[in-house]
Amino acid sequence: MIIFWIFLFLFLNTKPILASQNIFGLHLTQPQDIYTASKVINSSGGDWGWATIVLRTDQLDRNSWQDFFNNCRKLHIIPIVRLATVMKENYWQAPTFEDIDNLANFLNSLNWPGTNQYVILFNEINHASEWGGKVDVKNYTDTAIYAAQKFKSLNSNFFIIGSPLDLAAPETKDIYHSAPNVYKEIYEYKPDYFNLIDGIASHSYPNHGFVGKPSDSGQHSIRGYQWELDFIKSLGIQKKYPVFITETGWPHREGESKDNKFYTLKTSAEFLKIALANWSNDPNIYAVTPFIYNYPYPPFDHFSWLDKKEIIYPEYQDLISLPKSKNKFPQTVSYSVTNMQLPLILFSDKDYSGQITLKNTGQSIWGETQLCLNPQTTKNIVLDAICTDSTLVYPNSSHTFNFKLKINSSSQYTGKTFISWDNLPQYEILAIDAKGSIFRPKTGIKETIISFFTNLFI
SS3 state at 152: helix
Which amino acid does the sequence have at 93? Q
* CATH value at residue 359: 2.60.40
pLDDT at 74: 98
* pLDDT digit string (tens) for the chain, length 458 residues: 444 343 333 333 333 344 589 999 999 999 999 999 999 999 999 999 999 999 999 999 999 999 999 999 999 999 999 999 999 989 999 999 999 999 999 999 999 999 999 999 999 999 999 999 999 999 999 999 999 999 999 999 999 999 999 999 999 999 999 999 999 999 999 999 999 999 999 999 999 999 999 999 999 999 999 999 999 999 999 999 999 999 999 999 988 766 678 999 999 999 999 999 999 999 999 999 999 999 999 999 999 999 999 999 999 999 999 999 999 999 999 999 999 999 999 999 999 999 999 999 999 999 998 899 999 999 899 999 999 999 999 999 999 999 999 999 865 677 889 999 999 999 999 988 878 889 999 875 555 554 545 444 44
N-to-C CA span, the chain? 74
Are 307 and 192 within one domain?
yes
Q: Which of 18, 17, 39, 119 is nearest to 305 (CA)?
A: 39
pLDDT at 256: 78
Are 311 and 385 within one domain?
no
pTM of the predicted model as reported, rounded to 2 decimal places: 0.90
3 lies in a domain?
A: no
Count other C-beta atoms under 10 Å from residue 234's C-beta: 12
Are 314 and 348 within one domain?
no
119 lies in a domain?
A: yes
Are 128 and 47 within one domain?
yes
pLDDT, mean over the chain = 91
Is 286 in contact with 331 (CB distance < 8 Å)?
A: no
Q: According to DSSP H, which parts of 238-312 are helical?
A: 265-280
pLDDT at 436: 81
Are 317 and 340 within one domain?
no
328 lies in a domain?
A: no
200 lies in a domain?
A: yes
Are 26 and 97 within one domain?
yes
Are 173 and 304 within one domain?
yes
Is 84 in contact with 56 (CB distance < 8 Å)?
A: yes
Are 300 and 346 within one domain?
no
Packing angle of the helix pair 179-189, 137-154 (nearest 10 deg): 60
Boundary of a domain, candidates 289, 321, 353: 321
Are 207 and 316 within one domain?
yes
| Antiparallel, parallel or unpaired: β 386-387 and 25-27 | unpaired
* CATH value at residue 204: 3.20.20.80
Q: Which of 333, 415, 397 is nearest to 359 (CA)?
A: 397
Are 288 and 230 within one domain?
yes
Beta partners for residue 336, in sequence order: 359
pLDDT at 320: 95
330 lies in a domain?
A: no
- Return all residues near 434 (Cβ < 8 A) that are at least 6 apart: none
Domain interval for residue 143: 19-321
Q: What total of structural domains would you count in the chain?
A: 2
Which amino acid does the sequence have at 187? Y
SS3 state at 5: helix
327 lies in a domain?
A: no
Boundary of a domain, candidates 321, 352, 367: 321
11 lies in a domain?
A: no
pLDDT at 444: 55
Are 400 and 276 within one domain?
no
pLDDT at 259: 62
Boundary of a domain, candidates 270, 287, 321: 321
| Interatomic CA distance for residues 407 and 121, integer angstroms | 58
232 lies in a domain?
A: yes
